[in-house]
């Protein structure tokens, strides 16, 4: 039987140290799971998924959180260990017992909720491989946090105050590999910047195409130049290239045919680019698939689909 230990009073420093360590630990675990799920969805792209952006604000936030918040969490946990080494009485702080117990509870609840969500997606037709990998990711991340918290909660003697190297090194390796692989799947920030410029170009061409169709329906003929589309009353102004400021090309063809051209920085058929924006824009004649460099899109207005509106309407 261990001798009774005088109850230590929790100081503001103790409270904020433990509170900060737990909050950053939760944050890091959530960010890691979000990153792993996105990597799985991108690497194992499901045809049933309508739109998957591998560099959306969500995944950017996850990577940024892991780069900034996770080291803070490790630092705070190591600081707690040093505090206990200097004063083993801090093993019996009430804030320590409460927060580690809360972490065990939160981890268990999160594990159940995540498994229900993943299983629901699987029953809805998600790929089996994706389902298995997501379940594995949840068990690994939640299991690490659960194991660490339970182990810390059970420590009652000064002989067990050493830093849990298994957790520290294992978690650090997992986060490092996830972030590196995340960048491999997504591409570099400069590449993503180029892809986002291309998305803006496609969006601008879609807007111009819509205005050309509207011009046709109003006047019964195609515009001869893009300047014809500008309207000070409606406020429409023909968009320019978002990076260079150069105008887009409009080439008038025979009958109701025309071409819209732009110079793109990336190939939209690459894995990252196609998952970012090709599918939502459709396929067939209205497809906006493009190669790197100057690309022209052929369009022909069908009068049956887009009839000229009667005068006065």
Q: Average pLDDT in the 242-261 region?
A: 92
Q: Residue 28: pLDDT above 70?
A: yes
Residue 312 pLDDT exceeds 80: no
Alpha-carbon 244 to chain mean position: 28
Q: Which residues pair with 251 in a beta bridge?
A: 259
Helix/strand/coil for 45: coil
- How much is the pLDDT for 262? 95
End-to-end Cα separation, the chain, in angstroms: 93
**Cα–Cα dist 281/77, whole Å:** 48
| Per-residue model confidence (pLDDT) at position 272 | 54
Residue 252 has pLDDT above 50, yes or no: yes
Helix, coil or strand: residue 146: helix
Could you tell me which residues are beta bridge partners of residue 259? 251, 298
Residues 151-180 have pLDDT tens digits of 888 776 644 545 467 777 778 888 888 888
Nearest to 218, CA basis, from 231, 202, 205: 231
Strand ranges inside 124-256, DSSP E: 249-252
State the pLDDT confidence band at 37, using cuts at 50, 70 and 90: confident
**Mean pLDDT score of the chain, rounded to an integer?**
80
Nearby residues of 31 by Cβ (< 8 Å), 6 or more positions away: 61, 62, 63, 65, 66, 69, 70
In angstroms, rounded to a whole number, what is the distance separating the alpha carbons of residues 100 and 151?
Answer: 9
| Among 194, 142, 118, CA closest to 30 | 142
Percent of the residues in the chain that have a pLDDT greater than 90, as a whole number: 23
CA distances from 86 to 14, 49, 109, 147, 161 (A): 13, 54, 34, 24, 10
Retrieve residue 16's tokens: 């904020």
Q: Which of 38-42, 44-48, 127-131, 293-297 has the lowest mean pLDDT?
A: 44-48
In order of 30, 203, 226, 274, 308, the CA distances from 301 in angstroms are 49, 19, 16, 26, 11
The residues pairing with 240 across neighbouring beta strands, listed in sequence order, are 247
C-beta of residue 202 within 8 angstroms of C-beta of residue 170 = no
Instruction: Report the pLDDT value the prediction gives residue 125, as an integer from 0 to 100.
Output: 66
Q: What is the mean pLDDT of residues 137-155?
A: 84
- Indicate the helix (H) or strand (E) that contains 299: strand 293-300
Q: What is the pLDDT of residues 264-275, one digit of tens each?
A: 998 887 655 555
Please name the residue that has the structure tokens 């260990």: 81
Whether the pLDDT of residue 36 is over 50: the answer is yes
Q: Which strands make up the sheet holding 293-300, listed edge to edge?
A: 249-252, 257-264, 293-300
Question: What pLDDT is recorded for position 157?
Answer: 60
Question: What's the full length of the chain, in residues?
Answer: 313
């Amino acid at each position: 039987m261990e001798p009774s230990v005088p109850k230590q009073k929790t100081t503001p420093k103790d409270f904020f140290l433990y509170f900060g360590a737990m909050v950053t630990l939760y944050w890091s675990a959530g960010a890691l799971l979000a990153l792993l799920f996105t990597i799985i969805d991108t690497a194992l792209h499901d045809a049933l998924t309508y739109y998957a952006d591998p560099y959306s604000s969500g995944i950017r936030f996850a990577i940024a959180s892991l780069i900034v918040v996770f080291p803070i969490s490790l630092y705070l946990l190591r600081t707690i260990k040093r505090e206990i080494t200097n004063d083993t009485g801090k093993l019996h702080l009430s804030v320590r017992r409460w927060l580690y117990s809360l972490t065990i509870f939160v981890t268990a609840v999160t594990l159940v909720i995540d498994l229900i969500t993943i299983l629901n997606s699987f029953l809805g037709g998600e790929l089996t491989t994706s389902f298995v990998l997501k379940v594995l990711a949840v068990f690994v991340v939640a299991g690490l946090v659960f194991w660490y918290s339970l182990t810390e909660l059970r420590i009652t003697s000064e002989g067990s105050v050493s830093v849990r190297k298994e957790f520290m090194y294992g978690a650090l390796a997992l986060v490092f590999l996830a972030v590196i692989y995340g960048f491999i799947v997504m591409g570099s920030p400069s590449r993503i910047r180029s892809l986002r410029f291309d998305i803006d170009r496609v969006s601008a061409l879609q807007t111009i195409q819509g205005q050309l169709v509207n011009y046709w329906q109003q006047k019964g003929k195609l515009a001869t130049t893009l300047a014809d589309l500008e309207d000070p009353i409606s406020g429409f102004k023909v968009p320019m290239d978002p990076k260079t400021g150069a105008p887009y090309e409009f080439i008038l063809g025979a009958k109701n045919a025309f071409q819209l051209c732009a110079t793109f920085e990336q190939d939209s058929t690459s894995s990252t680019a196609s998952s970012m924006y090709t599918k939502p824009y459709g396929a067939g004649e209205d497809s906006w698939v493009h190669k790197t460099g100057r690309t022209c899109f052929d369009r022909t207005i069908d009068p049956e689909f887009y009839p000229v509106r009667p005068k006065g309407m």
